[in-house]
């Protein structure tokens, strides 16, 4: 490698086993202050939720392995995937969709697996579904993961009676024909499933409804969604697509969300357009910049939807649930385009970390979010290839950020320098902070600039710490990915660029990096 010392310097002292080549850019430290939140808001653990649809290789060949697959399994549930997700304390898993939810009829997925009807997944590739993975299998998966289930009900092609029966099958502990059927199928006690979506994307693949029409459907379906003894339902109304503020306004005005826990919102980062969304691996700085810019746009969406919700729910009793989010690129070349299999780069990890910082900072209203999707689809945490498995850069972000789950939110104030590309600019730095039950403070900081080290001086108002530790996630190129041949190209390592200076914290943020600092 030829070294141009006028432009670059090695800073291997910043962290272990990773050496990056960067441009020297002098700057004054960013002044960042952290204070105690009033009245003591909590970052819900459900913000760190996930979404797994019956789509492509997410369930089948992801969680649900072929019986002959030489991997550790419980039944057909793949345990290496389960153990990886348990490590990051996945709090909730949403299923069966997505668009698939509104064509899924739950009775097709119960009873002896060999006797279940074969159906066609007309939404995702016109493939045959043998329904071997159904209600019992999903809830067993959630039990193994130690997470709560979130089931999306079928409003598009289903009926209120079908949803009512499914809830009874899941949650009733008395005597009835449906509880007898559940016991016959191997489950004596109810599962007590609380999170329940009343349809999905009802404005689009869930029925192409108007908000006025959906409002009536929501009221009709939710009327028959009963709270069986021991289970208080947390109903989630089907909410808006991105910036469709009229949907949110009409649904709230017409329903009041009177018996709902929250209303959803979906937003995907698409760098190009829906016809050509861009490559997951072959992209230049323009696509990198615009992907990040679109990522940060979600904060404006949250602000405007929250303002509408404040009109009808000023006490913030109802949740804004971002139950589908992430970057959506073109499918990997050579794969079925309907299966939405995409690689996962350092750029995607920066998008995940920045989005989670935004959710954390809006925890007064955002009470759940579900990344799309967990295995082998869209912005996955895990990729599999037969018996091989790897963890994506996005997985490591969730690993680093798990300390924020159910921790007390700490407001962070600062003025970010700009990351400038051409005639456009975005904030280079974003951050969030929390205090956990043990008193430890965690600060997650993202530097989106691919060229600049950014120095940060953090003032902790009224807080004192004796020790610190930190981790960093970065790589030489923002296009870097983990492959089955090189599965650890992008992973977290110990970070040495944070230090105590009196009562302040000093952090030297590497370019294109995520850093989480723990103070005790």
Q: Is the pLDDT of residue 20 over 70?
A: no
C-beta contacts of 336-340 below 8 A and 24+ residues apart: 336/56, 336/125, 338/56, 338/124, 338/125, 338/126, 339/55, 339/56, 339/57, 339/124, 339/125, 339/376, 339/377, 340/55, 340/56, 340/124, 340/373, 340/377, 340/378
Q: Is the pLDDT of residue 1 over 50?
A: no
Q: Is the pLDDT of residue 7 over 80?
A: no
Contact residues for 224 (Cβ-Cβ < 8 A; gap 6+): 160, 161, 163, 164
Query: What is the mean predicted confidence (pLDDT) over 185-192?
Result: 97
CA torsion sign for 15, 16, 22, 24 is: positive
DSSP letter at 13 equals: G
Quote the mean pLDDT of the chain: 93
Beta-bridged to residue 22, according to DSSP, are 9
Q: What confidence tens digit (pLDDT) does each residue in 435-462 have?
A: 999 999 999 999 999 999 999 999 887 7
Domains of the chain by start residue, with CATH: 8-34+411-519 (2.60.40.1180), 42-409 (3.20.20.80)
Query: What is the mean predicted confidence (pLDDT) over 83-100?
Result: 97
CB 284 within 8 A of CB 227: no
CB 471 within 8 A of CB 494: yes
Using CA atoms, how far residue 397 sits from 44, 211, 253, 283, 491, in Å, is: 17, 36, 38, 21, 9
CB atoms within 10 A of CB 4: 8
**pLDDT at residue 190 in the model:** 97
**pLDDT at residue 11 in the model:** 37
Q: Is the pLDDT of residue 323 over 60?
A: yes
∠ CA 218-366-432, nearest 5°, is 165
pTM value is 0.92
User: By three-state DSSP, how is residue 252 classified?
Assistant: helix
Q: Is the pLDDT of residue 127 over 60?
A: yes
Q: Which residues are catalytic?
A: 201, 324
Contact residues for 499 (Cβ-Cβ < 8 A; gap 6+): 468, 505, 506
User: By three-state DSSP, how is residue 164 classified?
Assistant: helix
CB 189 within 8 A of CB 135: no
Phi, psi of 101 (to 5 degrees): -60, -35
The string of DSSP letters for 95-127 reads ES-SGGGGG--GGGG-S-GGGSPPEEETTTTSE
Q: Is the pLDDT of residue 303 over 50?
A: yes
Contact residues for 13 (Cβ-Cβ < 8 A; gap 6+): 496, 497
Q: What confidence tens digit (pLDDT) does each residue in 241-285 have?
A: 999 999 999 999 999 998 999 999 999 999 989 889 999 999 999
Confidence of residue 27 (pLDDT cuts 50, 70, 90): low
Angle, in degrees to the nearest 10, between helices 211-223 and 245-255: 40
Using CA atoms, how far residue 344 sits from 221, 257, 389, 447, in Å, is: 38, 37, 14, 18
**pLDDT at residue 42 in the model:** 96
- Token duo for residue 226: 């009963």
- CA nearest neighbour of 509 among 518, 501, 498: 498
């Amino acid at each position: 490698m030829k070294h141009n010392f006028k432009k670059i310097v090695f800073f291997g002292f910043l962290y272990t086993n990773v050496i990056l080549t960067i441009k020297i850019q002098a700057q004054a430290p960013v002044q960042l202050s952290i204070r105690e939140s009033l009245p003591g808001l909590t970052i819900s653990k459900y913000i760190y939720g996930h979404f797994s649809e019956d789509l492509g290789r997410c369930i089948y060949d992801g969680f649900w392995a072929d019986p002959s697959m030489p991997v550790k399994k419980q039944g057909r549930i793949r345990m290496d995937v389960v153990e990886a997700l348990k490590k990051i304390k996945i709090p909730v898993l949403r299923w069966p969709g997505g668009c698939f939810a509104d064509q899924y009829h739950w009775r097709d997925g119960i009873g002896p697996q060999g006797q279940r009807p074969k159906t066609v997944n007309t939404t995702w590739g016109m493939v045959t579904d043998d329904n071997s993975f159904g209600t019992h299998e999903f809830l067993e998966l959630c039990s193994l993961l130690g997470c709560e289930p979130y089931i999306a009900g079928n409003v598009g092609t289903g009926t209120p009676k079908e949803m009512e029966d499914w809830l009874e099958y899941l949650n009733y502990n008395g005597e009835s024909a449906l509880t007898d059927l559940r016991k016959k199928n191997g489950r004596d006690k109810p599962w007590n499933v609380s999170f329940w979506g009343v349809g999905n994307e009802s404005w689009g693949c869930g029925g192409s409804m108007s908000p006025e029409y959906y409002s009536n459907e929501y009221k009709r379906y939710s009327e028959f969604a009963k709270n069986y003894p021991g289970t208080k339902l947390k109903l989630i109304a089907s909410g808006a697509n991105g910036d469709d503020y009229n949907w949110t306004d009409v649904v709230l005005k017409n329903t009041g969300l009177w018996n709902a826990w929250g209303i959803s919102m979906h937003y995907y980062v698409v760098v190009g357009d829906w016809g050509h969304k861009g490559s997951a691996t072959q992209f230049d700085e323009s696509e990198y910049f615009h992907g990040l810019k679109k990522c940060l746009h979600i904060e404006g969406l949250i602000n405007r939807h929250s303002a509408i919700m404040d009109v009808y729910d000023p006490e913030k009793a109802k949740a804004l649930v971002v139950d589908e989010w992430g970057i959506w690129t073109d499918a990997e070349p050579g794969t079925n385009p309907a299966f939405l299999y995409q690689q996962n780069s350092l750029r995607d990890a920066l998008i995940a970390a920045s989005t989670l910082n935004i959710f954390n900072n809006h925890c007064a209203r955002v009470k759940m979010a579900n990344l799309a999707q967990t295995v082998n689809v869209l912005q996955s945490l895990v990729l599999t290839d037969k018996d091989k498995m790897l963890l994506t850069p996005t997985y490591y972000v969730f690993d680093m950020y798990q300390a924020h789950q159910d921790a007390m939110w700490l407001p962070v104030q600062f003025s970010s320098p700009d990351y400038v590309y051409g005639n456009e600019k975005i904030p280079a730095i974003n951050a969030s902070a929390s205090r956990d039950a043990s008193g430890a403070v965690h600060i997650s900081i993202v530097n989106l600039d691919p060229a600049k080290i950014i120095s940060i001086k953090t003032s902790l108002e009224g807080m004192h710490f004796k020790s610190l530790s930190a981790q960093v996630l970065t790589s030489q190129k923002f296009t870097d990915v983990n492959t089955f041949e090189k599965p650890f190209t992008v992973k977290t390592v110990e970070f040495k660029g944070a230090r105590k200076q009196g009562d302040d914290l000093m952090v030297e943020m590497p370019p294109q990096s995520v850093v989480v600092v723990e103070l005790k």
